[in-house]
Structure 1
Amino acid sequence: MQAPTSQAPEFVAELWLRRGVELLAAGVVLAEVGILLSGIVARAVFNRPIIWSDELASILFLWLAMLGCALAVQRGSHMRLTFFVFMVGPRAQRWAETLAVGATLAFLGLALHPSYEYLQDQAFVETPALGWSGTVRALAIPFGFVIAFASCLLRLVHHDWRDLAGIIAIMGAVAAGCYLAAPSLTAMGQSALLVFFIGLLGAAVMSGVPIAFAFSLATAAYLLTCTSTPLAVVVGRMDEGMSTLILLAVPMFVLLGQLVHGTGLARVMVEFLAALLGHVRAGMSYVLLGAMLLVSGISGSKTADMAAVAPVLFPEMRKRGMKDGELVSLLAASGAMSETIPPSIVLIAIASVTGISIAALFTAGILPAIVLAVVLGFVARWRAGREEGASVVKRAPFSVVRKTFMVALPALLLPFVIRSAVVEGVATATEVSTIGIAYAVVAGLLIYRGGLRWKAVLPMLVQTASLSGAILFIVGAASAMGWALTQSGFSHDLAVKMAAVPGGAVGFMLISIVAFIVLGSVLEGIPAIVLFGPLLFPIAHQLGIHEVHYAMVVILAMGLGLFAPPFGLCYYAACIIGQVPAEAGMKRIWLYLGVLLIGLIAIAFIPWISIGFL
């Protein structure tokens, strides 16, 4: 990290605070990897399991989540909907940036004392294996909130005082309005939910407030205005949502994705596929689709997948005559196509909130993605025939194909090792990610020498903590919001209405597809799953829909929304990674998304595609 050019006290304080959090978060990531790997070796090699390893990993996991959340606040990397913000002028964009920081600060200020109360409550808890007080673990929450609060204050120093005054006035007016209207809103019953979770939440999200903090503010405002529930309960629900041990796989797979890109594993896989298929019509499009299928099984992150594939393939695809709009459209569609490839982070999240077997989800996720890849392959071949200037490429000699295969073989084995280890029960999703990390490090140092540089390790660890913190905090915020909706009676009423949808299971499935396309485009994938998974999956079960089949359908529908312009966040990520203007793919992408929708409907009404191999 480079030091700011100014030496003003606020710049220096911000620099040192950020560096301190980065080093601490990186150390926790390394400790988690070491503890999990030691536990695997002790159990599998020496047959002497370490009884306290999972407990210590769980304690550090909450610290990692909160440090990562604070780090994401410092970097401004919490998930946001910026479509509407970018439609306005620079002045309004600066105002929206100030609002994003101010709203984050407002929730953190509300949560500081409740987090301290929650810490005191946890003092009576003792961990069974280590015998430690619960405060050791729970201290992570107020600590993270304090660091994030201080970081927001330091960031606001750089904003225009007029924007600050406007933001304070608006938030003060909202708070005063809630206070004065409290009796009326309470008397409205469930109708008040529209004010907080449609009106306030919608306005915050569209204004560019980070989604996790928009959820948190809407939940806090509802509980403070319409109930007597203390906010310490909200903090507890956030802790519960973030602390599911299966979610420990999230930072591990994020780090694995960083290593796959940094060690060159992704590059050699792509080079082998290019040598094998590059000469056929639409061959490089097939390579891109195949590479996304392979890489998705390693990193679990769509952004990491695209970042590993696009820089390697796009220059050659441009040489062969493909237009920028076609490139980014195919890249975005392939990202939506591969949402169910294990070990997708969304699969892990859906397993954590619904209780579905993660081994079953990992088994079921492969064939639906292959079906959609085949559908996209037909479209890519048709489009390749219409592209002007497409060049003819000679078939690579067998010696080149063989050489690239031998070089890529260690990398090609990694996704199969990951999937088979989980499906066969050799290791849990969390453990197998750690095995994958060790595999990638060994491959980077011994096989693909020069790919992994030590100076890149700290940025990888910091990026892992930041991205993981943003993901895990949004899970916690969505869990708290889902709890508030349940307590209001909304969940029960929704279940009754959804179960009575005309058409039974068919009508419910169609409505679910539409709903998750919309939710995926507006809320991003994980919060949509955490919020609505516990509500809708029991209804699907009542209607006779297999829960694994339903999971595949809603994940793919969510992926369509996530990559669909103008709202889909990942579409813009694809444009940034491919260095293509967003408007270049706006017209071309709809054909790809349209055939993906047709493929999704086929998957929805042919359950065997999802559950045939269970």
Structure 2
Amino acid sequence: MESLVDPIQTMPTARSPAGRWIDRSLAWITEVPAAAIVVAEIFILGGGAFARYALHEPLTWTDELASILFLWLAMLGACIALRRTAHMHLTTFVKGMAPDRRAWIDALGMCLVVAFLVMLCPPAWEHWQEEMAVTTPVLGISEGWRAGAVCAGAILMLVTAVARLVDTASWKQIAVTGGAVAIGGAALWMLSPVLANLGNLNLVIFFLLMLVGCIVIGVPIAFAFGLATMCYLSFSTTTPMSIMPNRMQEGMSHLILLAVPLFVFLGSLIEMTGLARAMINFLVSLIGHVRGGLQYVLLGAMYIVSGISGAKAADMAAVAPALFPEMKKRGSKDGDLIGLLSASGAMSETIPPSIVLITVGSVTGVSITSLFIGGLMPAVVGLVLMAGVVWWQTRLEDMTGVTRATRREIGKLLLVSLPALALPVIIRTAVVEGVATATEVSTIGIFYTLIAGIFIYRQFDWRRLYPMLLDTASLSGAILLIVGCATAMAWALTQSGFAQDLVKIMTAVPGGKMGFLLVSALAFVVLGSLLEGIPAIVLFGPLLFPIAKLVGVNEVHYAMVVIFAMGLGLFAPPFGVGFYAACAIGRVSPDVAMPRVWPHMAALFLALLLLVFVPWFSVGFL
């Protein structure tokens, strides 16, 4: 199952000797530097934090160097993700097609990806040339080192896309679909004088018909955003095309986003070093003997682990395999387990340091510290309501043969789990108390986990380190390319006047502040199911958060409602792709799980309403 959050990444198989040579060359060109940059970022930011807080001698160049390397990591990671077929895309509408028809659709989708990259390369080159003459304020080097990342990434992705197209499609498919894309582009070019006079009708043509059409046929969301924006700017406006790589670079250059790859890597380390299992074993010893005890453990473990890794797929993959076998022995139905796992993934979206929280702070300017403080209680509301569902479903659970852990066993497991349980406390405390930024604290977590894994748990497989670095780069590139392309699209929508029209519509919603919150919540449930959280928030966050402030809604309160709603949409069938990821991780058919997931979704929907009507849950501890 391919999905927006599927942790399984597929590697293409080149069919020809030339294709295999190109594939290996691309691997060396992109993977080795990307892995090296992840390691370099850890030491640069970790060293900067140590120098500032321990030695009281701040290194002024660390943030600037880290931001330049970060842009290279984003573009190289996007190339790796494209080679691995790991970019976020929607398969809901194409997964049931016959193989022959699916092959034609996939060939068309890859031709559209190629078309976007062909359009991007010239302005990216132009943008790089323009930036060569500008110097950075601290290091005093050319800004071309930063802008060159977008140019080099576009070229490498173009080569990768062409190589994948040649290796996965027949020449007939390439000729027909490529010809169709070329004819469509030529038609738009010839119609550009007409399109230029259509005004905001172009928004419907490019950002509704073209964008939705691309997403429906499975074009990766980042490339769908980019293609729609490039076509809109090229064929209906006189805007210089160099604005596209400029906006993409700006969107991906926020230093706070560097927390994304670092927390992704931290999540992998937690699983590999045994910290996650130590937490789970302790929780099982506490309440595993009561009816529904393992379900409560799953909820608690998702709450704790989500506060560390920030990636939902990694959270579910770390928790579910350790608990599901015993839960099934106790009589739990497969569908109920997947429903609980999906709902817990949605519930934990607001738990810091969630990647979505970090993205919200980056694109809207809301304080990361406030978001981290405000995100804990909304998840507790969801957890309590889901615990009620668990109590009802397991009230008759057969506990024959289940033994209660002794105090000595609990104490022993507590001692073993203390280093693991301390990690989320360290992370949250460091950010809330201002000891480190959200980005820097991820490096603290990484060094802490390395030490704990090597010297305390003595569980560290050095052979897995390089693949983990590559997985980090790939997932980060997939996320950050969406951020870059969505930033460019949001800019285009703002320049078109759409933002002003949206303000008028949303401020006219009946019911004032509560009406606006309810409409926003329902809208983001839908957006979460179709676009996933990060694309939706990057695209609509800059437009809607100012409106929320205008109608009197606290920004942190609004952020919690929006994030919780997106999580609900992401994990709710039939379109929520997080639900299918949970099915893949739990090895349960979606047909079996779908009828059993609704009680958990209902609990989350009630939690969402409580968050809307009771702002205290979001802002009570600020």
TM-score range, shorter chain: over 0.9
2:272 aligned to 262, 268, 271, which one? 262
How does 1:393-542 map onto structure 2 within 5 Å? 393-449=402-458, 451-542=459-550
**Structure-1 separation of matches of 2:23 and 2:620:** 54
Given that 2:215 and 2:224 are in contact with CA atoms closer than 8 Å, whether structure 1 keeps it comes out as: yes
- Asked if 1:138 corresponds to 2:142, the answer is no
2:582 aligned to 567, 574, 577, which one? 574
RMSD over aligned Cα atoms:
1.5
**Structure-2 separation of matches of 1:288 and 1:280:** 14
Given that 1:3 and 1:15 are in contact with CA atoms closer than 8 Å, whether structure 2 keeps it comes out as: no
Q: In structure 2, the residue corresponding to 1:385 is in which secondary structure?
A: coil
**Structure-2 separation of matches of 1:511 and 1:109:** 39
Deviation at 1:160, TM superposition (A): 1.6
Deviation at 1:577, TM superposition (A): 1.1
Code of the aligned partner of 2:51: A
Deviation at 1:6, TM superposition (A): 6.2
Given that 2:88 and 2:221 are in contact with CA atoms closer than 8 Å, whether structure 1 keeps it comes out as: yes
* Equivalent residue, structure 2, for 1:89: 98
Code of the aligned partner of 2:248: M
**Structure-1 separation of matches of 2:526 and 2:11:** 40
Deviation at 1:609, TM superposition (A): 0.7
How does 1:201-220 map onto structure 2 within 5 Å? 201-220=211-230
**Structure-2 separation of matches of 1:99 and 1:272:** 51
* Equivalent residue, structure 2, for 1:235: 245
Deviations 1:4-30 (A, max 9, x none): 696712112212321331111000101
Code of the aligned partner of 2:263: F
Q: In structure 2, the residue corresponding to 1:544 is in which secondary structure?
A: coil
- Asked if 1:319 corresponds to 2:329, the answer is yes
- Asked if 1:123 corresponds to 2:132, the answer is yes
Given that 2:14 and 2:23 are in contact with CA atoms closer than 8 Å, whether structure 1 keeps it comes out as: no
Q: In structure 1, the residue corresponding to 2:200 is in which secondary structure?
A: helix
* Equivalent residue, structure 1, for 2:42: 33
Code of the aligned partner of 2:34: A
Q: In structure 1, the residue corresponding to 2:523 is in which secondary structure?
A: helix
Given that 2:291 and 2:399 are in contact with CA atoms closer than 8 Å, whether structure 1 keeps it comes out as: no
* Equivalent residue, structure 2, for 1:166: 176
Given that 1:78 and 1:470 are in contact with CA atoms closer than 8 Å, whether structure 2 keeps it comes out as: yes
Contiguous gaps of at least 5 residues in structure 1? none
Given that 2:350 and 2:564 are in contact with CA atoms closer than 8 Å, whether structure 1 keeps it comes out as: yes
Deviation at 1:97, TM superposition (A): 2.4
Q: Select between 577-586 and 364-373 the one with higher mean Cα deviation.
A: 577-586
Given that 1:384 and 1:390 are in contact with CA atoms closer than 8 Å, whether structure 2 keeps it comes out as: no
Structure 1 ranges of 4+ moved more than 3 A: 1-7, 389-392
Give % identity.
53
Q: Provide the TM-score with structure 1 as the length reference.
A: 0.97
* Equivalent residue, structure 2, for 1:23: 32
Code of the aligned partner of 1:143: A
1:187 aligned to 197, 206, 225, which one? 197
- CA gap of 1:2–1:540, structure 2 versus 1, over 3 A, is closer
Deviation at 1:179, TM superposition (A): 2.4
**Structure-1 separation of matches of 2:524 and 2:15:** 46
Q: In structure 2, the residue corresponding to 1:269 is in which secondary structure?
A: helix
- Asked if 1:157 corresponds to 2:160, the answer is no
- CA gap of 1:164–1:27, structure 2 versus 1, over 3 A, is same
Given that 1:84 and 1:206 are in contact with CA atoms closer than 8 Å, whether structure 2 keeps it comes out as: yes
**Structure-1 separation of matches of 2:608 and 2:476:** 29
1:291 aligned to 296, 301, 306, which one? 301
Given that 1:85 and 1:92 are in contact with CA atoms closer than 8 Å, whether structure 2 keeps it comes out as: no
Deviation at 1:386, TM superposition (A): 6.0
- CA gap of 1:5–1:98, structure 2 versus 1, over 3 A, is closer
**Structure-2 separation of matches of 1:386 and 1:333:** 22
Given that 1:306 and 1:335 are in contact with CA atoms closer than 8 Å, whether structure 2 keeps it comes out as: yes
Deviations 1:31-61 (A, max 9, x none): 1111111111212222211111111111101
- Asked if 1:375 corresponds to 2:385, the answer is yes
Deviations 1:368-394 (A, max 9, x none): 10111010001011112366x675622
- CA gap of 1:429–1:603, structure 2 versus 1, over 3 A, is same
**Structure-1 separation of matches of 2:145 and 2:402:** 62
Given that 1:107 and 1:217 are in contact with CA atoms closer than 8 Å, whether structure 2 keeps it comes out as: yes
**Structure-2 separation of matches of 1:390 and 1:103:** 56
* Equivalent residue, structure 2, for 1:583: 591
Deviations 1:143-185 (A, max 9, x none): 1111111111111121222222232133123213322333333
- CA gap of 1:42–1:171, structure 2 versus 1, over 3 A, is same
Code of the aligned partner of 1:380: V
- CA gap of 1:391–1:5, structure 2 versus 1, over 3 A, is farther
Q: Provide the TM-score with structure 2 as the length reference.
A: 0.96
Given that 2:35 and 2:470 are in contact with CA atoms closer than 8 Å, whether structure 1 keeps it comes out as: yes
**Structure-1 separation of matches of 2:348 and 2:435:** 25
Contiguous gaps of at least 5 residues in structure 2? 1-9
**Structure-2 separation of matches of 1:200 and 1:2:** 28
- CA gap of 1:3–1:248, structure 2 versus 1, over 3 A, is closer
Give the length in aligned residue pairs: 612
- Asked if 1:342 corresponds to 2:352, the answer is yes
Deviation at 1:396, TM superposition (A): 1.4
**Structure-2 separation of matches of 1:83 and 1:329:** 19
